[in-house]
Amino acid sequence: MAMSDKAGRPVSLRIPLWLFRVVLVCLALCVLFFIFGAFTYTRLLAKASSVDDLQIENQILRDYTERVHSLESDLKTNRMLLRRMMELAGIDDVQYGSDSGTAGAAFEETAPLVTSSQIYNEAAPASDTVNRSVPNGTPMLGTFSRGFAATASAGIRRHLGLDIAAKEGTPVYATADGKVEFASWDETFGNYLVIDHLSGYKTCFGHNRAILVSVGDNVKKGELISLSGNTGKSSAPHLHYEIRLSGEPVDPTNFMDIKELKQAE
- Tens digit of pLDDT for each residue in 216-245? 999 999 999 999 999 998 888 999 999 999
**Whether residue 110 has pLDDT greater than 60:** no
Query: How many CB atoms neighbour CB 103 within 10 A?
Result: 14
Which CATH number do you get for residue 166?
A: 2.70.70.10
Mean pLDDT of 251-259: 78
pLDDT band per the 50, 70, 90 thresholds, residue 128: very low
> Distance (Å, rounded) from C-alpha 168 to C-alpha 1?
78
Please, what is the end-to-end C-alpha distance for the chain in angstroms? 87
Pick the closest to residue 220 from 170, 175, 171, 172 (CA basis): 175
Residue 98 lies in a domain: no
Residue 230 lies in a domain: yes
Contact 195, 219 (CB under 8 A): yes
pLDDT at 112: 35
Mean pLDDT of 244-260: 81
pLDDT at 89: 65
Residue 207 lies in a domain: yes
Pick the closest to residue 192 from 152, 153, 232, 223 (CA basis): 232
Q: Cα torsion at 12, 16, 22, 23 (round to 10°)?
A: 10
The answer to whether the predicted template modeling score (pTM) of the entire model surpasses 0.85 is no
**Whether residue 124 has pLDDT greater than 60:** no
Mean pLDDT of 35-41: 86
Residue 227 lies in a domain: yes
Q: What are phi and psi of 113, to 5 degrees?
A: -120, 120
pLDDT band per the 50, 70, 90 thresholds, residue 139: very high
Residue 216 lies in a domain: yes
Residue 178 lies in a domain: yes
Amino acid at 145: S
Please work out, in degrees rounded to the nearest 5, the angle formed at the alpha carbon of residue 89 by the alpha carbons of 88 and 95.
Answer: 125
**Whether residue 104 has pLDDT greater than 70:** no
Residue 65 lies in a domain: no
Q: What is the pLDDT of residues 69-93, one digit of tens each?
A: 777 777 777 777 777 666 666 665 5
- How many domains is the chain built from? 1
Most confident of 61-70, 153-162, 165-174: 165-174
Task: Identify the bridge partners of residue 119 per DSSP, sorted by sequence position.
Answer: 259
User: Domain range spanning residue 225?
Assistant: 115-260
pLDDT band per the 50, 70, 90 thresholds, residue 157: confident
* Average confidence score pLDDT of the chain: 76
Share of residues in the chain with pLDDT > 90 (%): 29
pLDDT at 130: 60
Q: Is 38 helix (H, G, I), strand (E, B) or coil?
A: helix
Q: Is 167 or 154 the better-scoring residue by pLDDT? A: 167
- Largest Cα–Cα separation, the chain: 124
Most confident of 113-117, 128-132, 199-203: 199-203
Residue 149 lies in a domain: yes
Contacts of residue 217, Cβ cutoff 8 Å, sequence gap at least 6: 179, 180
**Whether residue 103 has pLDDT greater than 70:** no
